């Protein structure tokens, strides 16, 4: 596998894991983990919080993989990594949270839901780009 | 010659490289007066704005380090005032703390959402009787509560800015300053009504992020800081902004 794709996937998994931890830290605990489960209509099933946690890691890895594909055969630059990473976060929000979540699974898109999912997935993108750059720097070193 | 703080592999900005660094080092040895050392400070700022593969200098603010401490003066024979470098792993840990503190503020937005800012009202009312500074309760009752809509909008906007700044590492010191001010306000108004340290810790969490360049890892400041530093020479605004990254 192309090293950039591999690094993209692992950075995505790491960023998704970090996102999962952030989703866990709330008044629940872990009530926010129901949000990713609700995108696929799984918020009512048993172990929905665990499903939400795993979904964040799996989707994080998938978008990281896509990030790696876009970054392959390119010189690693911090600015571009962050930009493409945040674009991935935006794509995750657009395709999964908005299209599948609100469009298909009928998750209510009020201000609270929008703010939470949009900002958190944008943060995922930043973490993805930043981790990819850090890991590439270590690799070069 | 003193060993200085030069480390192989350090890349400096504005074309200043190893030879420049050593030049300043030699120059320092010929300088006896403190005032002359001060004159060298502007040059040292550039030299200490360094970033190498595995370490980041903590003395990367626009003010730069104390040259006496950096260069190894007679007061520093044992190296006790040598510049401190923070390792890559430590910087990542600090960056994670910054993200979590930002997330703490972000979560507090959801019980005071516009247009009603509902949950906030209870706490503002509680501040009327709970504040430990004389007159603060009166101010809240007579000025802030009658203009609750404005207060709610300001509070929401301020906490949103704090969370964006800290979570994304965007002008993270500015976010830490704003978080300190907001947490101090909560401490004054509410600490009497709950366990004192709840709000005390909130203040300290923000204060601890102030002196460190926490946004330089896992944050946009990592991209922003070197660009601002290059622009510092020609733009006063860049000099001012560079303090906040």
Looking at this predicted complex, what is its ipTM?
0.95
Which pLDDT score is estimated for A26?
A: 80
**B97, B110, B113, B172, best to mutate vs chain A, most A CBs in 10 Å:** B110
In which element (H, E) is residue B56 found?
strand B55-57
Contact A119 B217 (CB under 8 A): no
Distance CA B86, CA A113 (A): 38
Residues on chain A touching B219 (C-beta within 8 angstroms): 126, 130
Query: Where do the structural domains in chain A lie, given as residue ranges?
Result: 3-136
Which pLDDT score is estimated for B76?
A: 66
Distance CA A9, CA A15 (A): 10
Which pLDDT score is estimated for B75?
A: 59
On average, the pLDDT of chain B sits at 78
Below-70 pLDDT ranges, chain A = 139-141
- Tens of pLDDT, residue by residue over B7-28, are 333 444 344 443 333 334 333 4
Which pLDDT score is estimated for B38?
A: 41
- Tens of pLDDT, residue by residue over B69-112, are 444 455 567 888 888 888 999 999 999 999 999 999 999 999 99
CB B130 within 8 A of CB B193: yes
**Which has more pLDDT, A109 or B29?**
A109
Which pLDDT score is estimated for A28?
A: 75
In which element (H, E) is residue B91 found?
helix B88-107
**Which has more pLDDT, B41 or B135?**
B135
CB B131 within 8 A of CB B188: yes
**Which has more pLDDT, A79 or B61?**
A79
Instruction: Count Cβ atoms below 10 Å from residue B3 Cβ, excluding itself.
Output: 11
How near does any CA of chain A get to the CA of B81, in Å? 30
| B245–chain A Cβ distance below 8 A for any pair | no
| B9–chain A Cβ distance below 8 A for any pair | no
Distance CA B98, CA B90 (A): 12
Distance CA B184, CA B189 (A): 9
In which element (H, E) is residue B85 found?
strand B85-87
- Provide DSSP, A42-96: -TTSTTHHHHHHHHHHHHHHHHHHHHHHHHTTS---HHHHHHHHHHHHHHHIIII
Contact A119 B167 (CB under 8 A): yes
Contact A141 B54 (CB under 8 A): yes
How near does any CA of chain A get to the CA of B223, in Å? 6
């Amino acid at each position: 596998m192309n090293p950039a794709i591999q690094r993209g996937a692992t950075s995505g998994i790491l960023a998704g894991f970090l996102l999962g931890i952030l989703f866990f830290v709330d008044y629940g605990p872990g009530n926010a983990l129901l949000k990713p489960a609700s995108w696929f209509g799984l918020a009512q099933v048993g172990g929905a919080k665990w499903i939400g946690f795993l979904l964040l890691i799996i989707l994080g890895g998938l978008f990281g993989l896509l990030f790696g594909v876009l970054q392959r055969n390119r010189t690693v630059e911090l600015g571009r990594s962050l930009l493409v990473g945040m674009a991935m976060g935006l794509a995750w929000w657009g395709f999964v949270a908005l299209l599948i979540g609100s469009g298909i699974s009928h998750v209510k898109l009020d201000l609270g839901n929008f703010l939470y999912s949009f900002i958190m997935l944008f943060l995922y993108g930043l973490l993805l780009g930043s981790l990819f750059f850090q890991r590439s720097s270590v690799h070069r070193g | 010659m003193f060993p200085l703080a030069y480390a192989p592999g350090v890349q400096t900005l504005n074309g200043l490289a190893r030879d420049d660094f050593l030049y300043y080092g030699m120059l320092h040895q010929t300088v006896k007066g403190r005032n002359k050392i001060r004159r060298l400070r502007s040059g040292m700022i550039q030299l200490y704005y360094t970033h190498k593969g595995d370490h980041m200098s903590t003395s990367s603010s626009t003010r730069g380090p104390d040259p006496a401490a950096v260069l190894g003066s007679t007061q520093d024979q044992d190296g006790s005032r040598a510049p401190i470098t923070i390792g890559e792993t430590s910087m990542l840990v600090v960056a994670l703390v910054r993200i979590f503190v930002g997330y703490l503020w972000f979560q507090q937005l959801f019980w005071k959402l516009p247009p009603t800012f509902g949950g906030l009202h209870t706490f503002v009312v509680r501040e009327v009787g709970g504040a430990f500074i004389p007159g603060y309760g009166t101010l809240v009752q007579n000025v802030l509560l009658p203009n609750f809509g404005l207060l709610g909008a300001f509070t929401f906007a301020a906490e949103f800015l704090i969370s964006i700044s800290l979570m994304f590492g965007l002008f993270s010191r500015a976010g830490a300053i704003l978080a300190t001010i907001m947490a101090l306000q909560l401490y004054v108004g509410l600490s009497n009504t709950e366990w004192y340290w709840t709000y005390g810790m909130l203040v300290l969490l923000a204060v601890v992020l102030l002196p460190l360049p926490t946004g330089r890892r896992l944050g946009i400041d990592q991209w922003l800081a070197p660009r601002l530093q290059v622009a510092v020479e020609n733009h006063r605004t860049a000099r001012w902004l560079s303090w906040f990254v």
